[in-house]
């Protein structure tokens, strides 16, 4: 009889565990399938990896012993994706380790799901988002390397994409699940404790304010990441959502801000994957990285601000309630007034701290926007120079072909074509020489670049890059190569003039010796033009590779600055 009675709790416990594990497995699996459908890198690393956030929240709230569901879900989805058996097992282990270690560290440091303390936000960011996700990225990408799915040259790129994708899962998905699955599910729009003093009661006015600001954020995000904003070449518009989110963080609780972060991220992802938004003008890897950095900066900034505001609001409430108790207990004595004055000073100090934090956040946003604008400007300039080099190279080769035809046909139109093509190279030279002056005439420089066949919309970026980065090592080297190329164009122009002089000069067609000498001179000039062409080809390749190295260097610098900000 006793055995029957005592067996029921065990059965109930195991049944409860099995149900939780099955549900977690299913949710993890389908979330992983969805995540792999969003711009995967090497087929396995993604833009955002929602299962990371789901696994972290599930193990933290329901228990670390649910890790087998994470392992099986990760194993199965990677096996279906095409990973070998050993590779899928290894990736599954890495994903389970990531979730277990992340959840354990949150428990170890006293994390609270409401995310209403700065300590909780920093614990989530540092230990769950930055540290534990590196484990999964390292195990996963190393596994892909060992099974020859990724190469050694693409290891770092895939590792960064995997790490940031997992990190965003813990910065965007996990906070949303934490605040909505926490014990404070029925918390009001405003903090109840602060309603005594701050007037944070649920009213139609506050509900209207929340709906209005939220709709404004959603409309701005939708406009920028849709076909409506396709023709607006001003990527910094996306940062218009920051002031509105700051408003929500100050006026409402973290739950509202975190929910809007998830919505903005979803809109940004869907828009970018569809080819819309400010990040689609780059290469695939740059698009992925810039969108990830935007979402990461958005999430961390607003989580920190919302938690600081909530802590301040609670401190304000405690001070107010303490003052009420003291006034009831001691009456309106002078000493009590003194204490009230001290409390007022203490409250003022909190406000100042909050003001400083908000000012710092605004400054950080300003520098982030400036850094983003500068990066776009520089990368646009580099793309314009690479495109201009293609036009320059094509014109030079067409000029040599025309000169070769002229050496055979002796037709004046071929020589005119030769000179016409060289005008493209001469136009770029005109721009370079003008920009080298102490006080350049930018009108002449623009005219030269346009003569060189460059798109007029790119000319300002070409001038900006030359003037502001002309002394930077990679740009300085590219300009030196460009100068050498112009010297070779002068040589080519001289060859053409000599050939034109020989062909245009009268001669005795009945004199075989004179005819032979003339043909020999023309052939020699053709050989010289081909030698010049070979030199120019080397210079053109060096120019492109130098700009490519510069582009990668600038990307790394901008990435470092963005991470620091």
> Among 234, 257, 231, which residue's Cα sits nearest to residue 244?
257
- What residues form DSSP beta bridges with 45? 41
pLDDT given for residue 553 in this prediction: 66
CA dihedral 33→37→43→45, nearest 10 degrees, is: -80
Going from the C-alpha of 20 to that of each of 27, 30, 68, 86, the distances in angstroms are 11, 16, 11, 27
Contact (Cβ atoms closer than 8 angstroms) between residue 28 and residue 273: no
Element at 184 (helix H, strand E): none
The pLDDT of residue 198 is 41
Model pLDDT, residue 448: 92
Half-sphere exposure of 195 (CA within 13 A, CB side): 13
Sequential pLDDT tens for the chain (565 residues): 444 444 556 557 788 889 999 999 999 999 888 877 665 544 455 678 889 999 999 999 999 999 999 999 999 988 888 778 888 899 999 999 999 999 999 999 889 888 888 889 989 999 998 899 999 889 988 988 888 888 887 788 888 888 888 999 999 999 999 988 876 544 444 444 444 334 455 678 888 888 999 999 998 888 888 766 555 555 567 778 888 888 888 888 888 899 999 999 888 888 877 777 777 765 566 677 778 888 888 888 888 888 888 877 777 666 666 655 555 555 454 444 445 444 544 554 555 555 555 665 666 666 666 666 676 677 777 888 888 888 898 999 999 999 999 989 989 999 999 999 999 999 999 999 999 998 889 889 999 999 989 988 888 888 888 887 787 787 888 889 999 999 999 999 999 999 999 888 887 777 777 778 888 888 999 999 999 999 999 998 888 888 777 766 666 665 565 555 5
CB 430 within 8 A of CB 444: yes
Q: What is the pLDDT of residue 207?
A: 84
CB atoms within 10 A of CB 222: 16
* Architecture, CATH, for domain 20-180: Orthogonal Bundle (1.10)
Bridge partners of 41? 45
Tell me, rounded to whole angstroms, the distance of Cα 547 from its chain centroid.
21
Q: Nearest to residue 467, comparing CAs of 447, 442, 448?
A: 442
What's the distance, CA 439 to chain centroid?
Answer: 37
Residues in the chain: 565
Tokens of 100: 């277990």
Q: Which tokens sit at 158?
A: 């895939």
Break the chain into its structural domains and give their ranges.
20-180, 380-560
pLDDT, residue 363, reads 64
Q: How far is CA 111 from CA 58, 103, 123, 361, in A?
A: 14, 9, 7, 24
Taking the C-alpha atoms of residue 56 and residue 496, their distance in angstroms, rounded to an integer, is 72
Q: Do the Cβ atoms of 99 and 166 come closer than 8 Å? A: no
Nearest by Cα to 489 from 431, 413, 418, 441? 418
pTM of structure: 0.58
């Amino acid at each position: 009889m006793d055995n029957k009675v005592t067996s029921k709790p065990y059965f109930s416990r195991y049944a409860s565990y099995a149900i939780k594990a099955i549900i977690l497995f299913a949710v993890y699996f389908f979330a992983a399938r969805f995540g792999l459908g969003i711009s995967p890198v090497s087929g396995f690393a993604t833009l955002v990896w929602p299962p990371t956030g789901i696994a972290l929240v599930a193990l933290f709230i329901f228990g670390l012993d649910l890790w087998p569901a994470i392992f099986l879900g990760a194993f199965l989805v990677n096996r279906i994706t095409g990973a070998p058996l050993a590779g899928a097992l290894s990736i599954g282990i890495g994903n389970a380790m990531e979730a277990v270690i992340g959840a354990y560290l949150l428990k170890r440091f006293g994390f609270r799901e409401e995310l209403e303390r700065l300590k909780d936000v920093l614990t989530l960011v540092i230990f769950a988002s930055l540290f534990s996700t590196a484990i999964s990225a390292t195990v996963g990408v190393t596994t892909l390397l060992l099974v020859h799915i990724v190469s050694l040259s693409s290891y770092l790129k895939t590792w960064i994409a995997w790490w940031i994708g997992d990190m965003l899962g813990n910065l965007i998905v996990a906070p949303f699940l934490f605040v909505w699955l926490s014990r404070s599910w029925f918390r009001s729009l405003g903090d109840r404790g602060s309603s005594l003093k701050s007037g944070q009661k649920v009213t139609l006015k506050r509900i209207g304010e929340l709906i209005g600001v939220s709709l404004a954020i959603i409309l701005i995000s939708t406009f920028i990441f849709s076909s409506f904003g396709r023709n607006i070449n001003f990527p910094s518009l996306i940062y218009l959502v920051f002031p509105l989110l700051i408003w929500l963080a100050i006026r409402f609780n973290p739950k509202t801000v975190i929910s809007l972060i998830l919505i903005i991220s979803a809109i940004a992802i869907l828009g970018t994957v569809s080819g819309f938004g400010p990040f689609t003008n780059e290469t695939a890897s740059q698009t992925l990285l810039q969108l990830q950095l935007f979402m990461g900066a958005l999430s961390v900034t607003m989580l920190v601000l919302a938690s600081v505001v909530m802590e301040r609001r609670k401190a304000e409430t405690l001070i107010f309630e303490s003052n009420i108790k003291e006034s009831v207990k001691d009456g309106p004595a002078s000493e009590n007034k003194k204490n009230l004055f001290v409390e007022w000073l203490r409250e003022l100090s909190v406000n100042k701290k909050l003001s400083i934090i908000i000012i710092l956040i605004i400054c950080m946003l300003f520098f982030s926007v400036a850094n983003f604008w500068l990066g776009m400007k520089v990368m646009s300039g580099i793309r314009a120079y690479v495109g201009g080099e293609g036009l320059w190279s094509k014109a030079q080769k067409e000029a040599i072909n025309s000169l070769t035809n002229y050496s055979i046909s002796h037709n004046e139109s071929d020589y005119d074509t030769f000179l016409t093509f060289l005008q493209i190279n001469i136009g770029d030279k005109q721009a370079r020489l003008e920009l080298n002056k102490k006080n350049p005439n930018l009108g002449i420089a623009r005219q030269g670049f346009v003569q060189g066949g460059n798109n007029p919309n790119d000319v300002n970026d070409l001038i900006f890059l030359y003037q502001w980065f002309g002394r930077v090592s990679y740009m300085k080297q590219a300009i030196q190569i460009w100068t050498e190329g112009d010297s070779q164009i002068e040589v080519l122009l001289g060859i053409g003039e000599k050939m034109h002089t020989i062909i245009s000069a009268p001669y005795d067609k009945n004199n075989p010796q004179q005819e032979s000498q003339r043909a020999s001179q023309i052939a020699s000039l053709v050989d010289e033009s081909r030698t010049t062409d070979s030199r120019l080809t080397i210079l053109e390749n060096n120019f492109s590779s130098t700009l490519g190295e510069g582009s990668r260097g600038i990307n790394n610098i901008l990435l470092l600055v963005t991470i620091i900000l």
